[in-house]
Structure 1
């Protein structure tokens, strides 16, 4: 597989109260097309900054960020981004929230409704299309956000700890839903998390970051799919990988 995303010699510094705060320093990473990469790291290691750079929301201080060889200088329709926070429009119901990216692009109303209905069914929200965000549970709002990201058929999906605020069972359900939607799609996924088990259950490659985005470990995950959490927890290979990731996180925190 060829690399679809490249971050080369990347540094990002923010200014706060006349002080420079370094989020990433000399960071290099390649993401291959159609892969599912989980980026694992503790708070403050630059994971969200990396995604914001890949999404074209902020410019690098130095270095380059490219998509299929072209510099990323603004958000691109080929790249969908699901952030940690809930960004649904409270005055729009489920269907109209999902339709919004197509509405911005000028897609005709009949096609918008048709495509939104397809996604509503795929993410398990049939019957809730006229509900407003305040009437939905946290898990259902995440499903709406996921559908809204997918409605434009992006080639690449960026997800920033999308299920971190949910309870364990909902998180497991939505992890399975995401994998179901991804498998066979040909889409590239970059999934950021601080949870080792989530990283191993989802990714076919795990990149562990330390401070300032230092790559501590870049590991291919060969565990066959589907991966059931209850079964994996007692699998010797999974246990060994979990220990390796734990050690890598500890090393990243020290350095």
Structure 2
């Protein structure tokens, strides 16, 4: 079976102050349908650039990016993207923020409201439908962003350190929520993180990137689900994988 996402011989260079800055060089990646791939790496290794290329937001300098064997040259409705930053519309309440992807697809108003109401309940925001982003906590805004991404019924989810700015307890809560929403959905997820434990708890595969997007390690994660963080930390398999990923990150920094 062909991969859902495919990147071949990919390079990306940015220009700043008349100087070329290489973010990726000769990068390859395949992502199978229905998988949850954690892309792990330190700051500056090209993780976000990979997602922006997969999302069709920027073109490669050289090489190819494919979605179901079709070249990616622009954003696609089949692909949802949850960025690091909060991109909610401040003048829209929770329900209308979530409805936005459906409005763009010209879904009838009644269907939009019903779908938004369902998603509000699924992400645990019942009772906050009429609240505006400024009235919500950081964690609640992340939930709205997740629901808005899912409202477009994407086949593939791209997520760029979506929980990185949250405290540990809230991050763990939203990690569980994400897995609950993903399992059984058939959706493909590419999840970027710099946190080893997060990569292991979420992914069924971890790709460790070094400088310029060099793939240092591509590791299948066969830990059983559900993965409770407290139980996993004392699991010998988890400890061994954690050590392998730590070593890979160190190698990638050289």
Same fold (TM over 0.5): yes
Structure 1 residue 2, shift from structure 2 partner: 3.7
Q: Deviations over 1:208-236 (max 9, x none)?
A: 00000000000000000000000110111
Q: 1:192 maps to what in 2?
A: 192
Q: 2:246 maps to what in 1?
A: 246
Q: 1:225 maps to what in 2?
A: 225
- Is 1:167 matched with 2:167? yes
Whether the aligned pair in 1 keeps the contact of 2:98 and 2:144 (CA below 8 Å) is yes
Q: 1:91 maps to what in 2?
A: 91
Runs (5+) with no aligned partner, structure 1: none
C-alpha distance in structure 1 between counterparts of 2:21 and 2:120, whole Å: 42
Runs (5+) with no aligned partner, structure 2: none
C-alpha distance in structure 1 between counterparts of 2:156 and 2:186, whole Å: 9
**Paired residue total:** 254
- Is 1:129 matched with 2:129? yes
C-alpha distance in structure 2 between counterparts of 1:142 and 1:135, whole Å: 13
Q: 1:55 maps to what in 2?
A: 55
Q: Deviations over 1:66-105 (max 9, x none)?
A: 0000000000000000000000000000000000111112
C-alpha distance in structure 2 between counterparts of 1:107 and 1:68, whole Å: 25
Whether the aligned pair in 1 keeps the contact of 2:2 and 2:68 (CA below 8 Å) is no
